[in-house]
């Protein structure tokens, strides 16, 4: 796991290129504290800079930027190619002579590209990655991102500063280091943040700078010609194609499905345990992390190190479950408790950790558990992320069809009247009902649904409405800005998972989450939280071979008798007793709402000061104040809305 940055300008001096590229990559030195380097070509006006976190081949043979054997290609690479030894064997079986300098996966990828071409090498690669590849023969730069978007890549044009330049890097903070960079804030992206808690690719918070979408690459011809339009990216891999192919070969029996998924996942875990440094696992106590930990422990002879986060508030605390599972598996278990005091200490650093505003509140415990793992001497940690999207783990996959089945028959006028009545139920009663039903934040979830009942006309509408916040007005100060962004985000998802795909509505939700919520929220949260402490995270569920097996599993083997991830539970039963894992899903929730009314109140009040909001000119101070006061009253739970604003405000103070 590493970080990189680079630029393309008009031909310039050696010293200037090296100085700028070095300055840019230094902004993300935490992504690669072990080594650094810069490659440049003054005649063409390009520089590639790299920061290395040494995981595979710790020697100088893994140094980057790295040139291919014949010198045609130069690469800066972030990620891991898990099957790189198999690729080496395949090259050797074809009698392709290769003078290997070391054992790094980056060198293997370069050899594959040099012998097979870029796209075939990508298709053969199993892993997570983002990289920049310069072809010295064709004088083109390729920017490439992995299938599911585990690794980030920003790129775009800066038309201010020294001169027009095309900039790229692992994080936005590197790009902002370009001399004189002052591209403005993209208000449409800010509107998207207020609705979804994240900014989805291809947008970023900065005008003119994009995130490369998952499974995409873009090719840029050199030397840079400012008179030509910026090139468009294209997909080298599509989840839609995988789903279509997999649905043609659905498993016919439970035995066939279970054995194939177990084999694929076991192979993925085994591959991802390979490293020249120490490896451990996150363990939340849920199905996904428990299964990854169980398979990991069965693949190694030593005690596996596992990590979890707990909370003082009992309704949010799952640490006891994780502790029991760790004891059963025999792992060396580490546990930390996140308190409001810890949150207050961490919050000022969030804007540094996240190079653009990001507002999933579980970013706090995620960073803390990453820090705990790193402080325990680990360099690599396996995580269970991705299992929910592939195997039907989210509660919405069960509840949305049920709710729509009932709502769909009710006349719209009656629906509107009923939602108004239920909306008036006090929060204390909802909390009581939530405890009885073992559903965290029931009040928030019900109210979120009721506000949208008046707008939905289909199950798909209901699903999409649950993913975004309805402000009841324009939260962005300047009237009209931001409205198109939300539509574009949904259209992008619809385009990639078209209605012609022959899958059920529930499977459609899973597919849409896989190209939307997963890469834009879950994977962003994990990557930034981990890399801030120089920790590599690996996700066995997101091996595309596991995904292919998952999509061959019929829905009734994923969700059965109102229980999610049935097939994963059957595999997990071989390792862990049912009584330790058979409980309602609660997610990685936090008591942010109550903290905002208590220990975080002063911090939030300062950022939400109406005069401050008015002076900055981004957030509507009247609507923001109304939401804040309603939340403080205890009658409404506006946690997500407020966290969206607060994370924006904190980011603006740091970067604006």
Residue 11 lies in a domain: yes
- DSSP secondary structure letter of residue 521: I
**Strand pairing partners for 309?**
336
Residue 616 lies in a domain: yes
| Together in a domain, 218 and 252 | no
pLDDT at residue 456, rounded to an integer: 74
Mean pLDDT of the chain: 88
- Tokens coding 216: 């995409």
Question: pLDDT of 353-371, one tens digit each?
Answer: 999 999 999 999 899 899 9
Q: Is 437 helix (H, G, I), strand (E, B) or coil?
A: helix
| Together in a domain, 541 and 642 | no
- DSSP secondary structure letter of residue 481: T
Give which of 497, 500, 499 is closest to 514, Cα–Cα. Answer: 497
| Together in a domain, 85 and 201 | yes
Residue 490 has pLDDT above 60, yes or no: no
Q: Give the mean model confidence (pLDDT) for residues 449-456.
A: 61
| Together in a domain, 166 and 274 | no
| Domain limit, last residue, from 185, 209, 237 | 237
What percentage of the chain reaches a pLDDT higher than 70?
86
| Together in a domain, 45 and 144 | yes
| Together in a domain, 366 and 386 | yes
- DSSP secondary structure letter of residue 541: G
Q: Is 263 helix (H, G, I), strand (E, B) or coil?
A: helix
| Together in a domain, 166 and 250 | no
More confident residue, 311 or 509: 509
Helices (H) and strands (E) in the chain, counts: 30, 17
- Which stretch of 113-117, 318-322, 622-626 has the lowest confidence by average pLDDT? 318-322
Given CA atoms 606, 611, 615, 617 in this order, what sign does their dihedral have? positive
| Domain limit, last residue, from 542, 559, 581 | 581
Query: How far, CA to CA in Å, does 36 sit from each of 259, 278, 378?
Result: 44, 22, 21
Q: How many domains does the chain have?
A: 3
Give which of 176, 173, 148 is closest to 30, Cα–Cα. Answer: 173
Residue 368 lies in a domain: yes
Residue 314 has pLDDT above 70, yes or no: no
Given CA atoms 599, 603, 606, 607 in this order, what sign does their dihedral have? negative
Residue 574 lies in a domain: yes
Q: Write the CB contacts of 510 (distance below 8 Å, at least 6 apart in sequence).
A: 389, 390, 392, 397
More confident residue, 339 or 396: 396
Q: Give the mean model confidence (pLDDT) for residues 536-555.
A: 98
Between CA 40 and CA 62 the distance in angstroms is: 18
Q: Give the mean model confidence (pLDDT) for residues 33-41.
A: 94
DSSP string, 21-72: HHHHHHTTGGG-BSEEEEEEETTTTEEEEEEE---S--SGGG-SSEE-TTS-
| Together in a domain, 49 and 146 | yes
Q: What is the pLDDT confidence band of residue 472, given thresholds at 50, 70 and 90?
A: confident
Q: Where are the alpha helices (DSSP H) in 207-362?
A: 239-247, 254-272, 287-298, 319-329, 340-353
Q: Give the mean model confidence (pLDDT) for residues 363-390.
A: 94
- Tokens coding 138: 């064709």
Residue 384 lies in a domain: yes
Domain range for residue 623?
A: 591-656
Residue 264 has pLDDT above 60, yes or no: yes
Separation of CA 258 from chain center: 27
pLDDT at residue 98, rounded to an integer: 80
Q: Give the mean model confidence (pLDDT) for residues 73-92.
A: 96
Cβ neighbours, 10 Å, residue 622: 13
Residue 38 lies in a domain: yes
Report which listed range, 1-5, 24-28, 311-315, is most confident.
24-28
pLDDT at residue 341, rounded to an integer: 84
Q: Is 379 helix (H, G, I), strand (E, B) or coil?
A: coil
Residue 406 lies in a domain: no
Q: Do residues 592 and 361 lie in contact, with contact meaning Cβ atoms separated by under 8 Å?
A: yes
| Domain limit, last residue, from 237, 262, 297 | 237
CATH number at residue 265: 3.40.50.620
Between CA 435 and CA 454 the distance in angstroms is: 28
Cβ neighbours, 10 Å, residue 220: 19
Report which listed range, 308-312, 503-507, 641-645, is most confident.
641-645
Give which of 567, 572, 578 is closest to 393, Cα–Cα. Answer: 567
What percentage of the chain reaches a pLDDT higher than 90?
65
Question: pLDDT of 202-232, one tens digit each?
Answer: 999 999 999 999 999 999 999 888 778 889 9
Q: What is the pLDDT confidence band of residue 403, given thresholds at 50, 70 and 90?
A: confident
Between CA 101 and CA 128 the distance in angstroms is: 23
Residue 611 lies in a domain: yes
Residue 560 has pLDDT above 60, yes or no: yes
pLDDT at residue 353, rounded to an integer: 93
**Strand pairing partners for 141?**
134, 220
Cβ neighbours, 10 Å, residue 229: 6
| Together in a domain, 232 and 249 | no
Residue 585 has pLDDT above 80, yes or no: no
Give which of 624, 589, 599 is closest to 609, Cα–Cα. Answer: 624
Question: pLDDT of 136-191, one tens digit each?
Answer: 999 999 999 999 999 999 999 987 655 789 999 999 999 999 998 999 999 999 99
- Which stretch of 223-227, 245-249, 567-571 has the lowest confidence by average pLDDT? 223-227
pLDDT at residue 422, rounded to an integer: 59
| Together in a domain, 77 and 184 | yes
How do beta strands 46-52 and 35-41 pair?
antiparallel
pLDDT at residue 487, rounded to an integer: 43
Residue 333 has pLDDT above 80, yes or no: yes
Residue 482 has pLDDT above 50, yes or no: no
Q: What is the pLDDT confidence band of residue 486, given thresholds at 50, 70 and 90?
A: very low
Q: Give the mean model confidence (pLDDT) for residues 577-595.
A: 75
Residue 636 has pLDDT above 90, yes or no: no
| Together in a domain, 287 and 326 | yes
pLDDT at residue 162, rounded to an integer: 56
Residue 374 has pLDDT above 60, yes or no: yes
Residue 316 has pLDDT above 50, yes or no: yes
Q: Do residues 310 and 590 lie in contact, with contact meaning Cβ atoms separated by under 8 Å?
A: no
| Together in a domain, 190 and 273 | no
Cβ neighbours, 10 Å, residue 85: 15
Question: pLDDT of 55-70, one tens digit each?
Answer: 887 888 899 999 999 9
- Which stretch of 113-122, 173-182, 395-404, 435-444 has the lowest confidence by average pLDDT? 435-444
CATH number at residue 149: 3.60.20.10
Residue 381 has pLDDT above 50, yes or no: yes
Q: Give the mean model confidence (pLDDT) for residues 237-261.
A: 95
Residue 485 has pLDDT above 50, yes or no: no
């Amino acid at each position: 796991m590493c970080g990189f940055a680079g630029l393309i300008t008009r031909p310039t001096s050696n010293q200037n290129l090296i100085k700028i590229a070095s300055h840019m990559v230094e902004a993300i030195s935490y992504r690669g504290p072990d080594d650094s380097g810069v490659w440049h070509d003054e005649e063409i006006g390009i520089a590639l800079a790299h920061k290395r976190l040494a995981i595979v081949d710790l020697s100088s043979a893994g140094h980057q930027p790295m040139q291919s054997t014949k010198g045609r290609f130069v690469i800066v690479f972030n990620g891991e190619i898990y099957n790189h030894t198999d690729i080496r064997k395949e090259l050797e079986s074809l009698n392709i002579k290769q003078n290997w300098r070391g054992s790094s996966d980056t060198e293997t990828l370069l050899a594959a590209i040099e012998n097979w071409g870029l796209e075939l090498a990508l298709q053969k690669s199993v892993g997570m990655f983002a990289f920049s590849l310069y072809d010295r023969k064709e004088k083109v730069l390729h920017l490439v991102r992995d299938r599911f978007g585990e690794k980030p890549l920003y790129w775009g044009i800066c038309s201010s500063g020294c001169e027009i330049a095309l900039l790229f890097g692992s994080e936005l903070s590197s790009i902002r280091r370009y001399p004189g960079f002052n591209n403005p804030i993209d208000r449409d992206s800010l509107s998207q943040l207020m609705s979804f808690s994240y900014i989805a690719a291809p947008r970023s918070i900065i005008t003119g700078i994009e995130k490369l979408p998952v499974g995409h690459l873009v090719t840029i011809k050199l030397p840079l010609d400012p008179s030509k339009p910026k090139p468009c990216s294209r997909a080298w891999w599509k989840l839609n194609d995988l789903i279509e192919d997999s649905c043609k070969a659905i498993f016919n029996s439970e035995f066939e499905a279970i054995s194939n998924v177990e084999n694929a996942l076991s192979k993925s875990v085994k591959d991802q345990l390979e490293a020249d440094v120490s490896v451990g696992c996150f363990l939340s106590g849920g199905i996904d992390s428990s299964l990854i930990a169980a398979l990991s422990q069965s693949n190694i002879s030593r005690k596996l190190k596992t990590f979890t986060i707990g909370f003082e508030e009992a309704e949010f605390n799952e640490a006891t479950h994780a502790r029991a599972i760790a004891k059963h598996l025999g792992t060396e278990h580490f546990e930390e408790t996140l308190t409001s005091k810890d949150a207050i200490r961490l919050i000022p650093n969030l804007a540094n950790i996240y190079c653009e505003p990001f507002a999933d509140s579980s970013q706090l415990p995620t960073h803390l558990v990453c820090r705990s793992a790193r402080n325990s001497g680990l360099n690599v940690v396996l995580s269970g992320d991705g299992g929910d999207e592939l195997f039907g783990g989210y509660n919405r996959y069960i509840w949305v069809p049920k709710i729509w089945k009932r709502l769909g028959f009710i006349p719209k006028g009656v629906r509107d009247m009923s939602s108004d009545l239920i909306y008036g139920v006090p929060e204390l009663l909802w909390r009581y009902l939530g405890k009885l039903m073992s559903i965290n934040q029931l009040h928030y979830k019900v109210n979120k649904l009721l506000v949208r009942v008046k707008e939905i006309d289909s199950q798909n509408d209901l699903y999409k409405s649950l993913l975004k916040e309805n402000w009841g007005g324009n939260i962005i100060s300047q009237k009209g800005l931001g409205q198109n962004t939300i539509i574009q985000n949904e259209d992008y998802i619809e385009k990639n998972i078209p209605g012609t795909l022959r899958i059920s509505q529930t499977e459609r939700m899973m597919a849409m989450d896989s190209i939307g919520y997963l890469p834009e929220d879950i994977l962003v949260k994990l990557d930034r939280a981990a890399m801030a402490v120089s920790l590599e995270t690996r996700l066995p569920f997101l091996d595309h071979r596991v995904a292919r097996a998952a999509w061959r599993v019929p829905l009734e083997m994923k969700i059965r008798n109102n229980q999610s991830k049935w097939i994963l539970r059957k595999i997990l039963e071989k390792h862990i007793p049912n009584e330790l894992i058979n409980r309602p899903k609660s997610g990685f929730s936090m008591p942010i709402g109550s903290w905002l009314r208590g220990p975080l109140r002063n911090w939030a009040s300062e950022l939400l000061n109406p005069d401050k909001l008015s002076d900055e000119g981004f957030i509507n101070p009247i609507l923001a104040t109304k939401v804040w006061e309603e939340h403080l009253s205890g009658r409404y739970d506006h946690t997500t809305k407020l966290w969206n604003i607060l994370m924006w405000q904190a980011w603006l103070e740091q970067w604006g």
